[in-house]
Amino acid sequence: MLEENDYETVRYESPAPGVARVVMDRPDARNAQNLQMTYELDAALQRAADDDQVKVIVVAGGDPHFSSGHDLRGDHGKQVEDFPVVGMWRGFQEPGAEGLISRESEIYLRMYRRWRDIPKPTIAAVQGKCIAGGLAIAWVCDLIVASEDATFSDPVVDLGISGVEYFGHPWEVGARKAKEMLFTGEAITAHDAHRLGMVNHVVPRDELQARVLELAERIAARPLFALKMSKQAVNQSQDAQGQWQAMEAAFSLHQLCHSHNVQVHKIPVNPAGLLPPKKKGSGAPPSKG
Ligand code: ZN
């Protein structure tokens, strides 16, 4: 397990008694999620879960944006096997669909599922852009507080992909809005997301962290075991409605799209998992679902 001082891409903070805050800290990459950040997020969340003094976990993104999604620019030669793999899928280097589904199962589907099931309340503090894989990080948290400027989008249909691997859209915004988000690739605003029930509160940007901390402290004042059980009860209700099975099914379609891209469009599966990195100087870091 990565220790606190080993983190390169996240910060672990203790802003108040009973509250841990895990901050994605790759501002130059708009907090795009590479392997390093994935496993450091996992280590930091595990650390918060391990600490009996921590009752509520806040997940935040260093300014200016919460997260631009998965980082397509590669991992400086590192592979999944270079990190403390948490799932049981293997064969990450196998050719074709076999390696890709293993890799994405580990870092994009089951990793998020693991975070969603942390037996402590979690709160996402979202500002600026929250795109594709960034959406998934917000979605796995129990509560989402957004600043007024926050926007949420999953534009990966443009890349020939059905939607981000952790397919929460229909559960988060309803089936009809989910289709519009996917079909158009356009962002919904924080106020839209609040109206649709995806976001708990919308607050001014300069108050975001303080308001989230205040909420976290209110929750942390309550008994942890009952909090865990109420979280479990809600998560189990979603599971009973078939949320996980639906996500697994959507993940299979996502993999079908990757294979189609390889077969028909001759897009190589590179170490980042999908598309060739954009050329230097082409603007914002590429991101994907
Ligand atoms: Zn994928």
pLDDT digits (tens, 9 = 90+) for 201-226: 999 999 999 999 999 999 999 999 99
| ∠ Cα 32 176 145 (to 5°) | 45
Q: Please report the pLDDT score of residue 273 as a whole number.
A: 47
- CA-nearest of 281, 283, 289, 275 to 73 is 275
Q: Please report the pLDDT score of residue 29 as a whole number.
A: 93
Domains of the chain, first to last: 4-265 (3.90.226.10)
- CA-nearest of 51, 13, 11, 16 to 216 is 16
pLDDT greater than 70 at residue 127: yes
219 Cα–ligand 1 center, Å: 35
Tell me the per-residue pLDDT of 150-207, one tens digit each, with 9 for 90 and over.
999 999 999 999 999 999 999 999 999 999 999 999 999 999 999 999 999 999 999 9
pLDDT greater than 90 at residue 75: no
Tell me the per-residue pLDDT of 229-287, one tens digit each, with 9 for 90 and over.
999 999 999 999 999 999 999 999 999 999 999 999 887 765 444 544 344 444 444 44
- CA-nearest of 213, 33, 232 to 137 is 33
173 Cα–ligand 1 center, Å: 21
Percentage of residues in the chain with pLDDT exceeding 90? 85
| Both tokens assigned to 8 | 């390169």
146 Cα–ligand 1 center, Å: 26
288 Cα–ligand 1 center, Å: 8
4 Cα–ligand 1 center, Å: 29
96 Cα–ligand 1 center, Å: 13
Give the number of other CB atoms < 10 A from CB of residue 245: 10
pLDDT greater than 50 at residue 23: yes
35 Cα–ligand 1 center, Å: 14
238 Cα–ligand 1 center, Å: 24
164 Cα–ligand 1 center, Å: 7
Residues around ion ligand 1, judged by CB within 5 A, are 104
258 Cα–ligand 1 center, Å: 7
CB 144 within 8 Å of CB 124: yes
Q: Please report the pLDDT score of residue 5 as a whole number.
A: 59
254 Cα–ligand 1 center, Å: 6
105 Cα–ligand 1 center, Å: 9
104 Cα–ligand 1 center, Å: 6
39 Cα–ligand 1 center, Å: 17
Confidence of residue 72 (pLDDT cuts 50, 70, 90): confident
* pTM score of the predicted model: 0.92
